[in-house]
Amino acid sequence: MRGGAFTLGAQFASLAMHIVSTAILSRLLIDDDFGLVALVASFIGVILIVKDAGFAQSVVQRDTITHEQVSTLFWLNIALSLLAAGVCAALAPVMVALFGRPELLLITMSMAAAAFVGSFGGIHRAMMQRQMRLGSLSMSQMTAQGGSIAIAALLAWWGFGYWALVAMQFSRVAIDVLWVLVACRWLPGPPRRGTGAGGMARFGAYMIGHSLISYGGRNLDNLLVGGWLGTAMLGQYTRAYGLLLMPIQQFTAPLGRVAIPTLSRLVNTDRDRYARVYLRLLGLLAMVTIPMVATLMAAAHPLVRTLLGPGWEYVPETFRWLGLAAIAQPLTGTLSWLMLAEGRAKEQFWYSCIYFALLLACFLAATPFGIVVLAMAYGLSGIFLRSPLAAYLVLRRSPVGLTSFAKALAPGMVAAALAYAAGSLAVWAMSGSPSPVVLAAALAASGMSAGACYMLVTPWRQRLLGSRQWLKELRTPKDTTRAATSR
């Protein structure tokens, strides 16, 4: 799959850029700068939900869709995004009053404007995903990320502080939108009534509700840390979070762009193959991400010292406990593929309410004790409570069984255990060496252990080595008869 192979390569490049930007910006800025921007990012993320979730997913999920329907959804998406941006900007003074930081006023207004600009590309991205134009989407992501990192690094070097991070957000959105608008080659018509977009809008409304609640759950910890422990401690927490969870998302996002259109096509035509495709994708994701997280957990201390430098003393232990959440998050995230493909948006909304309630209780109980305890509660509850509950609720009404789900995770879990043991042993054995040397030894030991595990077990080796050809077979574009095209 040329598009899929390019997408995978693009994700590795994106991960490399993320690591480089983390190392550079962590040395040029202070924890308070990161905390201020993270606080605002958590607040204005509701605009991103409107932009990226409901209506865009409706475009991907439908079997057939017309130009008039897409146009109507485009303008509805713009209107809701503008409303959300206006509300966020109007609440900027409230942010200042709540957290006692005058800087939040202009930061909030600027990032709300950036999020609104991003809404102009949401439907276009969905159409490109529907058409499986993954290579172009990946190029958009790489170009936007690279350009925004360069801008942020220059501004940080020149002493602009947190404005470097704001500029990175704005420039990334602007570059991405320009790219997809040109690449998609589609122009919206005027909104119309009677196009059948109402049903899609209702589906999208449930998706937006689910995404808002899920987003609130994922970012509630940032708001509590920022308000309870201060923006400097929030900067420490988000550095740990970004180092661990964000790289994992570099692999789940492109796989989701393949999975959702494919599963949506199969669910009503071949439910047996639907289940097999999902389990194969889940197993592939687990074989990559779980050992990767285990390796990073084992190498937490030398990794933080090498990439972030001095001044980040709370990050290593926070990072290690967040690793448990990083193991669970991408795997349970694939359950949303099933809910979306099966059209269970209303059910998904109510499940997300339960999930949010569990997270809220966890965060409220742990935050007063500091970010390390918060990360511990987040990780342990994810592994032992939230993820098993989510799997049970979703899979009890799906062609994919709970037992099959667990079996698909087994190779990744075994390889992760070996990788963690080997990495921890390497860190202990090299404890007197410079941090980069210890890090390199841990990565090498963990990587060789996981690789040997896969190569020695024949079914696992065949599954991993045959994944590229198998993904190529999935790259059959979704039927777009009567689909929206350029006008």
Same domain, yes or no: 175 and 240: no
By C-alpha distance, which of 254, 183, 180, 263 is closest to 5? 254
> Does any domain span residue 143?
yes
> Does any domain span residue 211?
no
Q: CB-based contacts of 293: which residues, under 8 Å, 6+ apart?
A: 244, 248, 323, 326, 327, 416
> Does any domain span residue 5?
yes
> Does any domain span residue 205?
no
Beta strands in 295-411 (DSSP E): none
Residue that finishes a domain, picked among 175, 195, 215:
195
Residue that finishes a domain, picked among 170, 195, 220:
195
Q: pLDDT means per 10 residues in the chain (487 residues)?
A: 56 79 89 90 69 60 73 82 84 88 92 87 80 77 91 95 94 92 85 60 59 69 86 89 74 73 80 87 89 93 90 90 86 82 77 84 91 93 89 87 90 94 94 91 94 90 77 54 41
Tokens of 215: 């987003």
Same domain, yes or no: 329 and 412: yes
CA distance linking residue 386 with residue 380, whole number of Å: 9
Same domain, yes or no: 236 and 188: no
Same domain, yes or no: 412 and 267: yes
**244 contacts 323 by C-beta, under 8 angstroms:** yes
Same domain, yes or no: 351 and 448: yes
Half-sphere exposure of 22 (CA within 13 A, CB side): 25
Alpha helix locations (H) across 158-230? 162-184, 197-228
Same domain, yes or no: 236 and 174: no
CA distance linking residue 265 with residue 246, whole number of Å: 29
> Does any domain span residue 75?
yes
Domain count, the chain: 2
Same domain, yes or no: 360 and 412: yes
pLDDT for the residue numbered 1:
43
Tokens of 229: 């422990």
Give SS3 for 191. Answer: coil
pTM recorded for the entire structure: 0.75
> Does any domain span residue 414?
yes
pLDDT for the residue numbered 428:
94
> Does any domain span residue 484?
no
Distances (CA, A) of 97 to 106, 221, 227, 304, 336: 14, 19, 11, 34, 37
> Does any domain span residue 481?
no
pLDDT for the residue numbered 343:
77
pLDDT for the residue numbered 223:
81
pLDDT for the residue numbered 442:
95
pLDDT for the residue numbered 195:
59
**319 contacts 300 by C-beta, under 8 angstroms:** yes
Tokens of 8: 């995978």
Same domain, yes or no: 457 and 349: yes
For 35, counting Cβ atoms within 10 Å of its Cβ (0-12 exposed, 13-18 middle, 19+ buried), the class is buried
pLDDT for the residue numbered 487:
40
Same domain, yes or no: 290 and 398: yes
Same domain, yes or no: 317 and 441: yes
pLDDT for the residue numbered 482:
44
pLDDT for the residue numbered 164:
95
Tokens 């047996």 sit on residue: 272
Same domain, yes or no: 256 and 112: no
Q: How many residues does the chain have?
A: 487
pLDDT for the residue numbered 65:
74
pLDDT for the residue numbered 14:
79
Kindly report the number of other CB atoms within 10 A of residue 187's CB atom.
Answer: 12
Enclosing domain of residue 100:
1-195
Kindly report the number of other CB atoms within 10 A of residue 322's CB atom.
Answer: 30
> Which long-range contacts (C-beta less than 8 Å, at least 24 apart) are formed by 414-418?
414/453, 415/287, 415/290, 415/291, 415/449, 415/450, 415/453, 415/454, 416/290, 416/291, 416/293, 416/294, 416/327, 416/450, 417/294, 418/449, 418/450, 418/452, 418/453
pLDDT for the residue numbered 485:
42
Tokens of 411: 């190779």
Q: What 8-state DSSP symbol labels residue 367?
A: G
Same domain, yes or no: 96 and 157: yes
* H/E stretch holding 393: helix 387-395
